Structure 1
Amino acid sequence: MGLIIFLVIGLIAGVLASYIMGKKQDLLLNLLVGVVGAVVGGLLAGLVGLGATGLIGQIIIATAGAIICLWVWQRIR
């Protein structure tokens, strides 16, 4: 059950990040960006002492991580 929730949070974060960054992507790529962003956002939030409480907090952290991932990907390309 935890993996399914993690994937749903990643999908929501990927869709939100793609809209915020103005990048139109398909569903699978949004899921990938969101899941990687959730991991990156969780690591960065832990480094600065922030914690995500509840579903909304997890989505916010994952979206911030996904935005960072998309921004880095744009700079690399």
Structure 2
Amino acid sequence: MSVVALIIIGAAAGFLATRLMRIEADIPTTMLIGIIGALVGGLVLRTLLAVMGWLSGFVGAVLGALLIIWLWQTYIRR
């Protein structure tokens, strides 16, 4: 993402965040809040997606193993 886009999105996000939190801030502070928030939020989101990706793979593996055990007990070991 370009720096200009980051500043525009950061300014919009900072404006929305300051209004939701009912904080009065000048324009540079609002932009700084938004830009830092975008960086922190992006880092947290990437971390969560990485963990959830690993976790979903683990859950899929457990479910697959449970299916194999059920099939083995139901059809093979009578």
The AA in structure 2 aligned to 1:18 is T
Distance in 2 separating the partners of 1:46 and 1:2:
19
Q: Which has the higher contact order (CA 8 A, sep 6+)?
A: 1
- The number of residues matched between the two structures is 50
Structure 1 residue 23 displacement after superposition: 0.4
The TM-score, its normalising length taken from structure 1, stands at 0.61
Structure 1 residue 2 displacement after superposition: 1.1
Specify the alignment match of 2:25 in structure 1: 25
Distance in 2 separating the partners of 1:37 and 1:29:
12
The TM-score, its normalising length taken from structure 2, stands at 0.60
Across the aligned residues of Structure 1 and Structure 2, the Cα RMSD in angstroms comes to 1.6
Deviating above 6 A after TM superposition, structure 1's stretches of 4 or more consecutive aligned residues are none
Structure 1 residue 8 displacement after superposition: 0.3
Q: Structure 1 unaligned runs (5+)?
A: 51-77
Q: Which has the larger radius of gyration?
A: 2
Q: 1:13-48 CA deviation, whole Å, 9 max, x = no partner?
A: 000000011101110000000010000000011111
Specify the alignment match of 2:14 in structure 1: 14
Q: Structure 2 unaligned runs (5+)?
A: 51-78
What percentage of residue pairs aligned between the two structures are identical? 34
